[in-house]
Structure 1
Amino acid sequence: MSAVRVVCAHDCPDMCSLIAHVENGKVTRVEGDPDQPYTAGFACAKVNRDAELVHSPERITTPLKRVGPKGSGQFQPISWDAALDEIETRWKAIIAESGPLALLGYAYSAHQGQMNRHIVNGLFHAMGTSRLQAGTVCDTCCETAWDATLGPVGGADPESVVDSDLVIAWGCDLMAVNVHFWAKLDSVRKKGVKVVVIDPRRSRTAAAADWHLPIRIGTDAALALGIVHILVRDGLCDRAYLAANTLGFDQWEREVIPGFTPQRVSEITGLSVADIEKLAAMYGAAKHSFIRIGEGMTRLARGGQALRAVATLPAVTGAYGRKGGGALLLTAGSMDFNFAYIRKPSGPATTRLVNHSLLGLELVRMDGPPLRSIFIGANNPAVTCPDAKKVREGLSREDLFTVVHDPFLTDTARYADIVLPATTYLETEDFYRGYGSFYMQFSPAAVQPQGEAWSNFRLAQELARRMGLTDAVFRQTEREILPHFFEGVTGAVAKVDPASLLDHKPVKAAPPPGPQEFRTPSGKLEIYSASLAAEGVPPMPIWEPDPEEVRDAARWPLRLLTAPSYFQPHTAFSGVDFLRKREGEPHCVIHPKEALKRNLANGQKVRLFNERATIGLALKVSDEVGEGIILVPGQRPDAEAPEGTVNMLCSDRLTDIGEGASYQSTFLDVAAWEAKA
């Protein structure tokens, strides 16, 4: 038996270093690497089962060609040569007839290795096709809002939390999405430091914290503004820090903050005046407060303003200037690798964009020319995209030549003309950098590809050869590409010799200790953003009711809350039977009073419905959510539920900042499944 140091490639901020135990070419066990200081020798409950993911009997073992209607899942095995010949022939014919814009490459985040993640999009960039505006389903709203406030820079080092005197998890279920940061809090809490969770749901993190504030969905900005109101009123602002390091505070204090009294904020958020006062007093008294910001609170119509308001709080108290203080959304902005080498090897600087969140709409309506072929890798848009019903309508087009590269026959793959078997991360060599910590690592493959699976890297290079592309990146090995990522870099990354990474050990590249850096045009934290003003967006953080949400709330009695589940957060883990059973059947959660109103009982099948779709789930009755909310944890394939998947209920409306998805701006109702029309 051998032990191989590898890196977890699932879409998670922690980026665990792992030890894969291998015997006779098979991964027998995966565990945390004790030599990684941040992830500290343990892996989450999901990744602990990744040996079963690699060797799942449900994996695709050969290329497949469709023989039935789209969506039916009827395929026959074919050879790799036959599959690649057909792809090459069809793509060249489409380009000859309609030009490269008729093609779209769609690869995203299921593999976080920077080579396997980005080389597919680099292929389509070089071909000059339509391009995916990636990430809008996930983080473009929060990232754009953060950049408008602090600039494109990483937040506080999560390991600095040991020096914090107050920790707030704001819209972030640490046990589900950032478990190693939660583990770091043990030493802090032993010193008496309080952990506060602000979340509409009583998650496991909220239940284990010192204090949980069950805020109404979509009102985070109002709470942040209310805190500032009290800090100003009670003389708890760090005026010297604000004067030296921020832009626009005086105007914000004069024009916006007076409108957010504790009483008004209570009416907006559903929190008591006493709790708002208590939270503001705690925050004002802390000198080294640390806010861990979750992305979920920005996935709604006014999500960008929520992020800006919360991210400004550490400036008001000066916490951004102190060790252990500040806020953390993401860290990647401070690690300026030259990933353009693989993302943009050649091709036109600009071309037609397809917003990730609008895939269904664009597949149905786009012309000049219409999309005639789509390649999908490392993603499952038939489940993950907003208005998933429209996505499936687009994928059902007989004139759309669809290629899907995936380890499993996903809901998306069922609509493909050609399905290609993909490797998992344990079968690939790649370079990783965390986006919730400041570590990087180069990882070997633990085992050879299973069956006839190919990596994204191998497939993109072969397709590039067939399409006549000559960029060096399509001929080089992973180890030959690695040094190019360090060309022209600055800061802590520039101090790392890429050759030193070939021992497969984790390397930290955090900015030097000191005050939070700002990379805005002014070099300060911009409470007033001229760039947002130019776009017609309120230039200072504010909370305003959204007219469409007000309209929908008057029509539908429940508001949707989606959140990662603990064992099936997304369909990347669907291939592990143990985790499916551990999570249980796909379900929704409503408050006992809401169940009573509808004569619904715990465990029964129910239908969730609005003007867009009807889906079926099992019902859990619990006070972990308040009245007026319906929680759907995780994303699950159709086959596991009575009918459909949750994102069929969500519109493709975009957020106020960053053109992101607005899942949490969804309103609906629930009734017994037997009552389905």
Structure 2
Amino acid sequence: MHWDAMHVAPLERLDLVPPGIRSVNMVQLGRALTDASVDPPITAMIVHGSNPVVTMPNQTLTVEGLQRDDLLTVVHEQFLTDTAQFADYVLPATTQVEHLDLMWAWGHDVIAVNQPAIAPVGEAVSTTEFFRRLSTAMGLDDAYLHLSDDEMLEIAMDSDAFREMDITRSRLEGEGWARLADDRGPTPFADGGFPTDDGRCAFVAPLASVALDRDERWPLHLISAKGSLRFLNSSYAHVPWHVRAEELTVAMHPEDAAARAIADGDRVEVVNERATVPATARLGDVRQGVVALPSGWARGARGTSANALTPDGLSDAGGGGAFHDAFVEVRVAGDTSLEH
């Protein structure tokens, strides 16, 4: 039994979704909010557990959409994030130490139960409580919309897959976590089976397709890895000493830098047709022809981050974002020769 065969379908209740309801891939949030052909237009949005201004691609388009006067935006958050700054209403959310949760594996093979250590502070409520209250306010009385966190945990744990692995709620509460069984072993994709058209993961795209997609104005391939020392995605960007202690840097190969008269520590601008991102050059960390900016860097006072440069196309691996299909140029700050 694959551990990913475990599911929460009893909680999803897709049968309750009215026919014809639209779905939008969050990667293309900016498009959905700004495309005049969307009929009817999206006029209300609730953001919870996310900071799309920072974490979604084509940042400028996302911001443009959030600035619409006719869009009602509610953000359920713990801090005034970059997204929350565009909200009509910001409502307080609990932190991890204030609510019950079941922590699914992501990048590992462990499942854990998160038990609250303290009661919610002030008016903060969990995401689930937020939607229970919203359901009540909207007069939606289906029982599944009003399940308590405790009841939902019981439903999620009522799984044959869990039973086969001897994983119970009492065990998780006593031990804190349990290792999930997976008959594919530690390398589940050793023989392929990726969710792509051909079942393979292509680290290098066919040269023909690369040639078709490239714009000669932007000769450098931008990657946006989790290279920040003090931020995790966009988390911790609200902490002043974290912001002061780290500067946004772009890693460059020394030969690419020399060709542009850029020295280590120079103030530069990473640019393409979408945006200009100010940064400090750091040499020697990447291969020639590639530059790297950390992902998840909050916009804050800087105004932009790596995702201002990334495209909002979709990959064939499950419809995820094609964040690394971005191409840029790097110039010394203030050099406008690339604008024409």
Per the normalisation by structure 1, the TM-score is 0.45
> Which one of 292, 295, 298 corresponds to residue 637 of structure 1?
298
1:406 deviates by: 1.1
Residue 438 in structure 1 maps to residue 101 in structure 2: no
> Which one of 662, 669, 672 corresponds to residue 322 of structure 2?
662
Identity over the aligned pairs, expressed in percent? 28
Letter of the structure 2 residue corresponding to residue 629 of structure 1:
V
Q: 1:451 to 1:596 in 2, by over 3 A?
A: farther
2:51 alignment counterpart: 380
Q: Deviations over 1:411-430 (max 9, x none)?
A: 11111111112222122121
1:437 deviates by: 3.0
State the secondary structure of the residue aligned to 1:484: helix
The whole-number CA distance in structure 2 between the counterparts of 1:632 and 1:516 is 29
Q: Deviations over 1:92-129 (max 9, x none)?
A: xxxxxxxxxxxxxxxxxxxxxxxxxxxxxxxxxxxxxx
Residue 607 in structure 1 maps to residue 269 in structure 2: yes
Residue 466 in structure 1 maps to residue 137 in structure 2: yes
Letter of the structure 1 residue corresponding to residue 27 of structure 2:
S
> Which one of 32, 53, 59 corresponds to residue 362 of structure 1?
32
1:563 deviates by: 0.4
2:233 alignment counterpart: 570
Letter of the structure 1 residue corresponding to residue 31 of structure 2:
L
1:554 alignment counterpart: 216
1:609 deviates by: 0.9
Q: 1:538 to 1:437 in 2, by over 3 A?
A: closer
2:310 alignment counterpart: 650
Residue 338 in structure 1 maps to residue 8 in structure 2: yes
Q: 1:412 to 1:526 in 2, by over 3 A?
A: closer
The whole-number CA distance in structure 1 between the counterparts of 2:184 and 2:291 is 43
Residue correspondence of structure 1 range 266-415 to structure 2 within 5 A: 333-334=4-5, 336-342=6-12, 344=14, 346-348=16-18, 351-365=21-35, 366-415=37-86
The whole-number CA distance in structure 1 between the counterparts of 2:77 and 2:208 is 39
Q: 1:608 to 1:340 in 2, by over 3 A?
A: farther
The whole-number CA distance in structure 1 between the counterparts of 2:332 and 2:200 is 45
1:627 deviates by: 1.6
CA contact (8 A) 1:442 1:501 kept: yes
State the secondary structure of the residue aligned to 1:572: coil
CA contact (8 A) 1:338 1:487 kept: no
The whole-number CA distance in structure 1 between the counterparts of 2:10 and 2:330 is 47
1:540 deviates by: 6.8
CA contact (8 A) 1:570 1:635 kept: yes
> Which one of 154, 157, 181 corresponds to residue 486 of structure 1?
157
Q: 1:617 to 1:549 in 2, by over 3 A?
A: farther
Unaligned runs of 5+ in 1: 1-152, 155-331, 519-524
Letter of the structure 2 residue corresponding to residue 399 of structure 1:
D
Q: 1:418 to 1:668 in 2, by over 3 A?
A: same
Residue 627 in structure 1 maps to residue 298 in structure 2: no
State the secondary structure of the residue aligned to 1:625: coil
Q: 1:422 to 1:434 in 2, by over 3 A?
A: same
Unaligned runs of 5+ in 2: none
Residue correspondence of structure 1 range 161-310 to structure 2 within 5 A: none
Q: 1:485 to 1:554 in 2, by over 3 A?
A: same
1:212 alignment counterpart: none
- Structure showing greater radius of gyration is 1
1:461 deviates by: 0.9
The whole-number CA distance in structure 1 between the counterparts of 2:265 and 2:315 is 34
The whole-number CA distance in structure 1 between the counterparts of 2:182 and 2:167 is 13
Q: Deviations over 1:179-217 (max 9, x none)?
A: xxxxxxxxxxxxxxxxxxxxxxxxxxxxxxxxxxxxxxx
The whole-number CA distance in structure 2 between the counterparts of 1:515 and 1:593 is 39
CA contact (8 A) 1:606 1:619 kept: yes
Q: 1:493 to 1:408 in 2, by over 3 A?
A: farther
Q: Deviations over 1:373-398 (max 9, x none)?
A: 01111111111111111111111110
Per the normalisation by structure 2, the TM-score is 0.86
Q: 1:395 to 1:493 in 2, by over 3 A?
A: farther
The whole-number CA distance in structure 2 between the counterparts of 1:360 and 1:407 is 23
CA contact (8 A) 2:162 2:168 kept: no
Residue 617 in structure 1 maps to residue 263 in structure 2: no
Q: 1:603 to 1:437 in 2, by over 3 A?
A: same
Q: 1:438 to 1:598 in 2, by over 3 A?
A: closer
CA contact (8 A) 1:386 1:651 kept: yes
Letter of the structure 2 residue corresponding to residue 380 of structure 1:
N
1:371 deviates by: 0.4
State the secondary structure of the residue aligned to 1:664: coil
